[in-house]
Structure 1
Amino acid sequence: MNSPKECNDNDDDGEKFQWHRSCIDDYNLLDLIGQGSFGRVFRSYCTVNGQECAVKCISKQNPQTNLQKIRTEVYIHIRLNHPNILQLFTVLEDSKAVYLIMEICNGGSLAQLIAKQKSQNSIRPILPYKLIGSLLLQICDALDYLHRNSIVHRDLNLNNILLQRPYCSKSSTTTKIKLADFGLAIDQRLMSKHRSPSTTTINHQPNDDNDDLFGSTICGTPGFISPEIWNQIPKSVSSKSDIFSLGSIVYACITGQTPKNDIILDNSFPPMAADLITKLLNHNPEKRLEINQIKQHIFVIGHIDSRRLNPIEKTTNTLRMSIDSKQNVRMYFRNDNLTIDVYQNGSLINIHHNHEEKYNFYDLPEKYWKHYQLIIKFINLVRSKTRKIIIYCGDWFKQQPNNGKPTKKFINKCTLMNDGHFEINVYDRILDENQCYRLDEITANNNNNNNDNDQFDFKPHLDKLFKLYSIIYQLEQTLEIQSETIGIDLFPITIGCDSMKSMNESNTNTTANNGTRLTENNSFLTSKILRSIPINGIGHAIQFTNGSIKVNFDDGSDLCMDRDNRIYYLHDGILDRFHKNDKLPDFIVDKLAQIPQVIERLKIS
C-alpha cells in the first residue's frame, strides 16, 4: 500500500508545505464542470504536456476563503496515491487565487448518475444492486487506504464520488470511481501532535479553526453526517464517521433520496441491503462494521459470475461441488442435507431441503448466506485458475541486455486470469519446466533481497511487464464491450505462437550424438526445491522434490540429472540433452564425476 510521505516535525507550516510558484497560463481553462462555496472547477488541459486535467480555482478575494484550511487540505490530498482517490498533481498560486491541478473524471458525480437514473425509473432500486456492490467495494478500498494512514474524510457524500467515465447500463455493469474533495479531511496523527503542549507545527487561528483541527465542529453534508459529528461529542470523530456516511450512500443509491432521521427499511429493501444499511447506520460507532467486514458482506460480494468456467466436479468430506456445461452451479452440503442450485450467474437460486424453495439472489434469506458464501469461494477459486487472455512473448524477454545470449530461464508467456490477476510464466531450459508468478506478488517482493541462485530476477523486466499488462488490460476492456455489443463471448483468447511447443516438436526430430532420437517426455512437471546449498570448488547444488539434481558450476555451465538418469547440460546458451544409453562427451563425464560429492553434501545438509 502506498502511504503518504512523513512530515518533518521541526518545520513550521510555511516550510512544511511549499506552494508551487508557477504560472496558471500553462493551463487552458475550458468549460465549468463544478462549483461550490469556495471555488470553481474547470475542465482544462496543460499546454506544456497536452494532458487533460481539472483545475479548481479558489479565489483569495472571497471573504469566506481560509488559506490555512486550504493548506491543510493540500497537505493531506497531495500525499495520497490510490487508484480510487482523485489525484492532486500540483498546486499553483498567484495574487488572485490558488489553483489545484487535479486528475479529471469525465463521468460526472454519483449524485448526477442517481438523478439521471431516477428521472428514467422511479422503481427501486434506482441503481442496479450489482452496480451498487461494485461502487461500495471501490469506496471501501479508498477508505481503507485513508484510514490506514490515519485520515478521516468527514465529507463522504454522493457529490464527492466521481465517475472516471460516463456510465452506460447497456454496455457495462460497473464503472470506476474516484473519491474527491478533502477540504474537511483531518489527519489524526496531526491531531495527536497538537494535543501535546510541547508540539506546535501549524499556527492555527483560535476557536473554530482549532476545534475543526480536532474534528469537534459540525461539518459535512446533511444526511451523510454521523451522529457523533452532529452532537459535537469531544474527541469522538474517527474512521467510523466515514462508515456512517457510507451507509447513507447505499441508502441513496437504492431509493434516490438522502436518509433523514431514523429511516425505516420497508419490504422494498432486500434482506441483504437492509442488513448492510442497518449495520452501517448504527448510532453507536463501535457497532458499525469494519471495512473488511463490509467488503465480505454478501451484498457487496454480489452474486457469482460463472461465465467461461469449464465443467468441473469436486468432492470433500462435507461438500460436493460442480459446474455444468451451461455454467450452472450446484453445491450439496452433507451435514445439512441441503442442495443449492445456482442459475444465470447467480441471479436465480433453487434450494432443496425438505422442500424446494426459489429465490432471486438479493432476496435470499439470511439463514442461507453462509452456505452461499461457500459457493462464492468455490467459484472464485475456479475463476482464479481459468485463463482469459494468453499472450506468448516470443523473444521479447529471452535475450540478456548485456551480452545478447539466451538465458537459462526466461519469460515465455503471460496470462490474464478470469479473476483479474496477471500471471507470468517462467520457463527453465534446464529442467524443461514452467513456474508461474503473479505480477502483484512480484511487485510486493521487488525490494526483498533473495540470495537463491536459482531464483528468477524480475527486476530488469518490470517495466516491460507493466507495459504488457497495460496493453492486455486495455484489450480486455475493449473485447468485453464488443462481446456485449455483438452478443458473442470473445474469451478466452490466445495471442502469439507457443515457441516452446514448436521447440519440443522440433526436438522429437532431433538426434543425440549417437543418433538416438529423444522422443521421451522430459518434463520435470511442477517439482519444487527441496535443498539448495553452495559447494566450494564446484558451484551451487539444488535438489528437487521429484528426485532431480541440478548443479550450477562455477564455470557458468549447468547440469541437471533427473530420476531417470537423463542429463541436461547448458553452456554458453546451448542446451544439450542426453539419454542414459547415449555415449557421453568427455566434458560431460568430467562434470558427472563430481555428482557423487554433490549428492553426499546434499544428504548431510
Structure 2
Amino acid sequence: MFGMDAGLRKDYDMGPAIGEGSFSIVRLGIRRSNGENVAIKVIDKKSIKFKDNVVQREIATMKLVDHPNCVMLYDIYDDSKHKYLVMELVTGGTVMDRVVEMTHFTEKDAATVTTHVLRALEHLHALGITHRDIKPENLLYKSNDPLSPDYNTVKLADFGLAKFVGVDETMKTTCGTPGYVAPEIIDPKMPFGDGYGPSVDIWSLGIVLYIMLCGFPPFLHESTAVLFQLIRKGEFDFPTPYWDAVSSDAMDLVSKMLVVDAKSRLNAEQCLDHPWISVSGPEAGRTLHSSHHAFMLIRKLQIFDNVDPACMQVRYCLQWKLWIDEKKGCLFVPQSQEVS
C-alpha cells in the first residue's frame, strides 16, 4: 500500500479487507516475525467522521488492558493520512451469530458467555475503566473452529466509549446503546447519586443475559423516550412460557444485575460468586424455550448494520486462505518459534 507507514510495512504483511466502517477499514494481516494472524484497523484521518480525541481515548484505554477475555491491541503505527491499529484477530463472530447458529442454546452456554464478560469487567473495573457499551455486538468468540480450544472463549471488544476515571470519581456523559443503558446514564441526577460509575456495565450485561435466556429484552418500545421511561422505572418480569425452562438461580442473578439503585446492584466480583456462575446447577444444560431461536434471529437482523467493522466475523473464504498460505510460505520464522 503506497504511503503506508514504513514500520508497519517492515513488521506486517497487510491483506484483504475483512470489515469496513464510517472512517476505517479492517484488514487481515500477518506478523512477519512469527506468522501470527492479526487484524489491522486502518483509520482515515481525512474522513469528516474521524475524531482524533475519540480514537486517542480508545488507544489509551486499550494500552492498559491485558486480559484473555478482552480483544488486545498489539501495535500502533501512524503516517500523514492514516492511523493503523494492529489488534488481536477474532474469527468466531458475535455472541448473536453463535446463538443463531446453534441448534440448541442452553443456560450453560449463556453462563459461559456471562462468566467471560464478567471476568473482563472485573479486570477493567479494577483498572478504573468503564466500558459503557456492553451489548451482544461487542461480545465476540475468539475462534470459529469447533476443534479449537478457543472456540468457546468470549472476548470483549470496541473500547470507543470506554473511559478511565479515578477512585470516587463519576461520569456524566450520556452515551451507550439505548436498549442497554443503565438508568443512571439516562438521568445522572437520580436520587441514588450524582453521575454514574462502573456499575453501568453490570446493568448492560444483565440486559444481555436476559436476552440470551429468552430471546427478547426486558425493556422494549419503538419510542426511545418511552423506552428510557421504562428503564428508569426498572420494572420487568419473566413471562411464561418463555422463562418456564429457565432456572430460578439464573433469574435471581438477572434480578440482582438489573437493580435501578446502582449502589445495590451486584459488582463483577459478586456476580462471579453468584451460585448460577460459580456452581453449575442441574438445570444449566436444559434447552431454552422453542421460540428462543426465532427471537434471536430477528434481533441479529435488526442489529447487523451497527456492528463495528473490527468486530465482524471473519469467514475464511478461499481468497483469504490462499493469501495467508502464500505469505507464510515466504516468511522468515525464528528457530525458537513456529508459524501459528
Pair in the same fold by TM > 0.5:
yes
- Alignment partner of 1:25 is 2:3: no
Q: Is contact 2:129-2:162 (8 Å) kept?
A: yes
Deviation at 1:293, TM superposition (A): 1.9
- Quickly say closer, same or farther: Cα 1:293–1:221, change in 2 above 3 A: same
Q: Is contact 2:65-2:72 (8 Å) kept?
A: yes
Amino acid at match of 1:156: I
Amino acid at match of 1:252: I
2:112 pairs with 134, 138, 159, which one?
A: 134
1:290 pairs with 267, 270, 279, which one?
A: 267
Hey, what's the Cα distance between the residues in 2 that align with 1:43 and 1:220?
28
- Quickly say closer, same or farther: Cα 1:290–1:232, change in 2 above 3 A: closer
Corresponding residue number in structure 2 for 1:181: 158
Deviation at 1:222, TM superposition (A): 2.5
Superposition map of 1:162-311 within 5 A: 162-166=140-144, 168=146, 175-189=152-166, 215-233=171-189, 235-260=194-219, 261=230, 262-267=235-240, 268=243, 269-303=246-280
1:78 pairs with 21, 45, 63, which one?
A: 63
- Alignment partner of 1:39 is 2:24: yes
1:146 counterpart SS class: helix
Hey, what's the Cα distance between the residues in 1 that align with 2:81 and 2:167?
29
- Alignment partner of 1:96 is 2:81: yes
Q: Is contact 1:167-1:175 (8 Å) kept?
A: no
Q: Provide the identity percentage.
A: 28
Higher strand proportion, which one? 1
Hey, what's the Cα distance between the residues in 2 that align with 1:48 and 1:191?
44
Hey, what's the Cα distance between the residues in 1 that align with 2:162 and 2:89?
20
Amino acid at match of 1:40: I
Q: Is contact 2:128-2:167 (8 Å) kept?
A: no
Hey, what's the Cα distance between the residues in 2 that align with 1:241 and 1:83?
22
Corresponding residue number in structure 1 for 2:222: none
Amino acid at match of 2:69: N
Q: Is contact 1:22-1:93 (8 Å) kept?
A: no
- Deviations, residues 376-421 of structure 1 (Å, cap 9, x unaligned): xxxxxxxxxxxxxxxxxxxxxxxxxxxxxxxxxxxxxxxxxxxxxx
Paired residues, what number? 262
Deviation at 1:167, TM superposition (A): 6.4
Deviation at 1:158, TM superposition (A): 1.2
1:274 counterpart SS class: helix
Amino acid at match of 1:73: E
- Deviations, residues 62-110 of structure 1 (Å, cap 9, x unaligned): 2121111211111111122112111111111112221110111121121
Hey, what's the Cα distance between the residues in 2 that align with 1:361 and 1:112?
21
- The gaps in structure 1 that reach 5 residues or longer are 1-20, 122-126, 193-213, 304-345, 348-359, 364-466, 468-605
Corresponding residue number in structure 2 for 1:400: none
Hey, what's the Cα distance between the residues in 2 that align with 1:185 and 1:361?
32
Hey, what's the Cα distance between the residues in 1 that align with 2:56 and 2:6?
17
- Deviations, residues 473-528 of structure 1 (Å, cap 9, x unaligned): xxxxxxxxxxxxxxxxxxxxxxxxxxxxxxxxxxxxxxxxxxxxxxxxxxxxxxxx
2:140 counterpart SS class: strand
Corresponding residue number in structure 1 for 2:90: 105
Q: Is contact 1:247-1:277 (8 Å) kept?
A: yes
2:132 counterpart SS class: coil
Hey, what's the Cα distance between the residues in 1 that align with 2:145 and 2:133?
23
Amino acid at match of 1:246: L
Hey, what's the Cα distance between the residues in 2 that align with 1:236 and 1:60?
33
Hey, what's the Cα distance between the residues in 2 that align with 1:175 and 1:188?
31
Hey, what's the Cα distance between the residues in 2 that align with 1:191 and 1:99?
35
Q: Is contact 1:70-1:183 (8 Å) kept?
A: yes
- Deviations, residues 165-193 of structure 1 (Å, cap 9, x unaligned): 1264x99997112211111111102995x
Hey, what's the Cα distance between the residues in 2 that align with 1:227 and 1:296?
24
Superposition map of 1:89-488 within 5 A: 89-117=74-102, 120=103, 127-166=105-144, 168=146, 175-189=152-166, 215-233=171-189, 235-260=194-219, 261=230, 262-267=235-240, 268=243, 269-303=246-280, 347=282, 360=283
Q: Is contact 1:133-1:302 (8 Å) kept?
A: no
2:18 counterpart SS class: strand
Higher helix proportion, which one? 2
Hey, what's the Cα distance between the residues in 1 that align with 2:168 and 2:59?
16
- Quickly say closer, same or farther: Cα 1:38–1:254, change in 2 above 3 A: farther
Deviation at 1:24, TM superposition (A): 3.7
Higher relative contact order, chain-length normalized (CA < 8 Å, sep 6+): 2
